[in-house]
Amino acid sequence: MPASVAGAGGRARGSAIGPYTVLRGLDDEASGIPVPERRFIGRSADGDRTVLIGAPLPGADPGRFLAEAETSRYLLGPWSSPATEVAAPGDAPWHARPYVPALPLPAALTVHGGPLPEGTVRALGAALVETLIVGHGQGLAHAGVSPAAVLLAADGPRLTCFGAVRAAAGDGAARSGLPGLESGSLPPEEATGGRPQPAGDVYALGATLAYAATGHTVPEREELPAGLRTVVTACLSRDPAARPRPAELLDLLEAGGPAPASPAPASAPPAPASGPMSSDTVLLRSAEPAPAPPAPASGPMSPDTVLLRSAEPAGRAAALLGPGRLPGRIIAALARQSAGLLAATLPVPPAPQD
């Protein structure tokens, strides 16, 4: 995966963010797609934990950034990406989550050599819709769906950048043109300062799927694959009330359109010859989506648990995310990323001066 050594925002390899040492940046600045935060892959000093770190863009409001990171801790669903660590009050702002070998969607298109196959876009869309359904059931608008927010992993996508629109500017303030916000996936009502709502997530999803299918977020209708025109153009309605509900989107993404020929699935990198596998290798080798949480031992299930437990609707994306849906070049890039990080060593600190 292309990425500068310093990464976005100029963090050099070996610099520290919280308790972690930066190994590399995640995003390729040459893609031209805005990223709502600076993202790095880092490792703990003892080498035991590899994480994906997020830090605010220069000039961003650290309080709003940390507030959204804190809220993201409660996100559910197999394709969500909740923060598991957040900077302590008074420290420089950052958040982290366990590392999974993954490519940002813009980097995946670069590796693949152009737009993704329609079947891949449908599977990606179904997984993202399931994530939104669960989040909306929790009363949370994601407010950060964009091409850069989507990471492609071997077992399915991860939706990141929760709350990026809210973090960029408070309600009532114009957000159009702000750093980190991709204009094509910013819902018009939010661009003018409106409070992010679930219908805005649907608009942003449509723009993100358009990007995956064509390479840009505001294509002409004729540029879209015929099987995706209805779903994408419906999402991109300027009237929030006219946009489809996420559950309707799931039906549309599952239905219609010829399935592309499935190439032979690429193998994940082998485990080390001896000794236990690192968490990174285990994550890349897994071909199955994360299991849903078990039902509570007693008492009524919450709406979120109902969504997660069965194929109605959560879990339906898994059927579309089978072998062959992720192009081989992307699988190979994930393997290279994982192998590179497994071989990476933390810089040796300078010896103390006498």
CA nearest neighbour of 140 among 212, 205, 200, 57: 200
* Overall average pLDDT of the 125-135 stretch: 96
Percent of the chain past pLDDT 70, that is, above it, reads 78
Per-residue pLDDT at 320:
87
pLDDT at 12: 65
Structure tokens at 279: 């968490």
Three-state DSSP at 24 gives strand
| Of 201 and 350, the one with more pLDDT | 201
Q: Compute the mean pLDDT over every residue in the chain, rounded to the nearest whole number.
A: 83
* Mean pLDDT score, 124-142: 97
Q: What is the mean pLDDT of residues 315-327?
A: 86
Angle between helices 118-137 and 198-214 (to 10 degrees): 170
Instruction: pLDDT band for 257, please (50, 70, 90 cuts).
Output: very low
Pairing status of strand 150-153 against strand 50-56: unpaired
Q: pLDDT tens across 196-254, in order?
A: 999 999 999 999 999 999 999 999 999 999 999 999 999 999 999 999 999 999 999 98
Cα–Cα distance for residue pair 57/8, rounded to 1 Å: 9
CB neighbours of residue 290 within 10 Å:
13
Peptide bond into 313 cis (omega under 30): yes
pLDDT confidence tier of residue 349, bands split at 50, 70 and 90: low
118 falls in which pLDDT band (50, 70, 90)? Answer: very high
Least confident of 115-124, 162-171, 272-281, 328-337: 272-281
pLDDT at 295: 38
Is the predicted pLDDT of residue 305 greater than 50, yes or no? no
Mean pLDDT of all residues in 255-275: 42
The residue type found at 171 is D
Q: What is the reported pLDDT for 94?
A: 98
Q: Count the neighbouring beta carbons within 10 Å of the beta carbon of residue 314.
A: 27
Other beta carbons within 10 angstroms of residue 249's beta carbon come to 26
pLDDT at position 344: 85
Helix, strand, coil percent content, the chain, rounded in steps of 5: 40, 10, 50
